[in-house]
Chain A
């Protein structure tokens, strides 16, 4: 008989850049000045895109949209550590991740503008369509990861989730399968602290989401999700681990949703202005800019050029989206099955006959 401590756990936290853009040189990932500027540029582009999407929504030119404001570092940092052939299974709040993964911005607008063609990824880039049902996509990432091991491909699969999704049964089944199969998968959790109106404290009694990984038999880490270098560094380490058969990682990016849940929501109903203001001070984009300026690789002129370029790209994407003709009615029938069965063809033909007769 015995009464003893059977297990204790420790959990790592990583921050490379503090809120003022000061970096801990010992923790600095190996990135060239060009790459550092690129990371910053992607965050700026994503933020400009986000502003444009919100504006298009207000004008009724796209539908409901989920803003990524405040979460750019978590998404861009992670994407930067991946290759096109790696898989990502994103949520509906992932514009920055997808932009950094070369998903054309016009297609992002197309999806939120109610057109499935917006989910088509660029050739050779494994961007899966975003998941609307919360927490369901982690299992797809695990499946793609197990497939990679069977096919002997050097590929990692990233399953995105938020704090809310960590409560879902499917997400926990995904963690469990990942651990059991030692799958080359990364769970990229953006703990933005609010699942619509429900704060993290009501989502889980666990102090962190990262520690949940430990119960499933693999590594979890919390990083400052507003620090693009920390997110990149943790993701790059997890990718390396996955490529070398060492199994899954759960990365909890501790961040904050600065905007409403979606364009259909008013966050002032359930959270204080003071809380939002405090998080604005931790802004991931401003922090990186200060860092680059401190390194003397950034200045006002470059900033102005970058902003002008981002605006041009975003405007061009919006113009391309708006110039894209609506698909014909056949588009809703065409992709249900590999070959259109007779009953569907009949429904399509009947509809076309009726509408083309007008």
Chain B
């Protein structure tokens, strides 16, 4: 077992999946010799050769559309989209085709495309490199959406995603790529999709988050005495409804922390679920700490936008003192 950061864990996950199943292929811009711009694909070309690790032309819709055809024909393509801001170019392929192929062929064809893409702010990046638009994919029937918040989870979730037969949008928090290191097994292991993780048990308030915001919530806990139960969703679709509801029933209070813009984000859906299934357990309104309904700012102003410990602590205190 070695200590790995998140991007190394993703790399290790790809290597394990490719070694275990020759149907797994990686394609995208600069994934070959360059190993991907964040190096998540480092060494894959050397280990698995150019038939299974393909540098493609610079065309995101092409990458996803070609992946769809490969998947239909029996491969397990794992395309990398260099930044999630460029995945929009492929939304037609993703929403019209990848997500629907199993259904529209009534199971005659399947389309297990595992789209990896970095997302989120906090890395002082160029414009269009920092958004958190996961709600688009969560809203699309037929897709699964995964966002890990730690190296260990990233590897286990990625291998699970590749082992399955459904299309998955696997969003990697670029801010966490090199921020945390932890012990990660060298060999293959899986973490089931659709299962949240209770990061810290508590009784006063449930804090739900995912991706890089989970780490902000974790930091916030160091600055408050409130007995918080912290839940990492890990899979955004399908949501682990049971984990959310049982925690909220226990604590009676809930805050959702999302990096994405406030309106129409996943937090809204979680609040609706709590409303439907745990309303009478609530002692305070469920609140959201979220990005603003603004375009993501250029990097000098990004800390204004990004929810941080201060806003999270403020929300925790307001909720327990309601």
Contact = CB atoms under 8 A, between A and B. Distances in A.
A and B pair up: yes
Contacts of A144: 69-70, 72-73
A136 B65 contact: yes
A138 B103 CA distance: 20
Contacts of A141: 69
A322 interface: no
Nearest to A111: B104
Contact of B66 (A119, A142, A342): A142
Contacts of B297: none
A301 B164 CA distance: 57
Interface string A157-201: 100000000000110011011001100000000000000000000
Interface stretch (A23-31, A94-102, A333-341): A333-341
Interface stretch (B8-16, B105-113, B212-220, B305-313): B105-113
Contact of A150 (B59, B71, B75, B164): B75
B57 A119 contact: no
Contact of A120 (B66, B71, B101, B106): B106
B239 interface: yes
Interface residues of B, number: 47
A173 B62 contact: yes
A145 interface: yes
Interface in B76-134: 77, 92-93, 96-97, 101-110
Contacts of A117: 106
A36 interface: no
Given A136-B65, A136-B97, A336-B142, A87 B57 contact: no
A343 B93 contact: no
Contact of B106 (A87, A335, A338, A341): A335
B166 interface: yes
B238 to A, nearest CB: 4
Contacts of B222: none
Contacts of A104: none
B238 A140 contact: no
Given A119-B105, A157-B69, A338-B164, A139 B144 contact: no
Contacts of B202: none
Nearest to A179: B57
Contacts of B102: 335-338
A84 interface: no
Nearest to B141: A336
Contacts of A121: 105, 108
B71 to A, nearest CB: 7
A126 to B, nearest CB: 8
Contacts of A63: none
A341 B96 CA distance: 21
B65 A119 contact: no
Given A119-B108, A120-B108, A121-B108, A343 B73 contact: no
B300 interface: no
A181 B62 CA distance: 12
A119 B106 contact: yes
A147 B107 contact: no
B56 interface: yes
A147 B75 contact: yes
Interface string A108-128: 000000001101110000001
B93 A337 contact: no
B104 A139 contact: no
Interface residues of A, number: 45
B51 interface: yes
Contacts of B92: 133, 136, 170
Given A133-B96, A341-B238, A116 B110 contact: no
A117 B108 CA distance: 10
Given A336-B142, A343-B239, A143 B106 contact: no
B241 interface: yes
Contacts of A170: 61-62, 65, 92-93
A23 to B, nearest CB: 37
A120 B109 CA distance: 9
B274 to A, nearest CB: 14
B141 A116 contact: no
B65 A128 contact: no
Interface in A214-256: none
Contacts of B108: 119-121
B68 interface: yes
A169 to B, nearest CB: 7
Nearest to A130: B104
A336 B98 CA distance: 11
Contacts of B71: 143
A200 to B, nearest CB: 24
Contacts of B69: 89, 139-147, 157
Contacts of A116: 103-106
Nearest to A148: B73
Given A170-B92, A170-B93, A338 B65 contact: no
B50 to A, nearest CB: 10
Given A120-B108, A342-B238, A177 B57 contact: yes
A143 B68 contact: yes
3 nearest A-B pairs in the assembled complex, by CB-CB distance: A143-B69, A139-B65, A173-B62
28 contacts: A89-B69, A116-B103, A119-B105, A128-B109, A129-B104, A129-B105, A129-B109, A136-B93, A136-B97, A140-B69, A140-B72, A142-B65, A142-B66, A143-B66, A143-B72, A143-B77, A146-B69, A149-B51, A150-B52, A150-B75, A157-B73, A173-B65, A174-B62, A174-B66, A177-B59, A336-B142, A337-B142, A338-B164
Given A87-B73, A143-B65, A143-B77, 7 more contacts: A128-B72, A128-B109, A173-B65, A174-B66, A336-B102, A336-B103, A338-B165
Interface of A: 87, 89, 116-117, 119-121, 128-129, 131-133, 136, 138-151, 157, 169-170, 173-174, 176-177, 180-181, 331, 334-338, 341-343
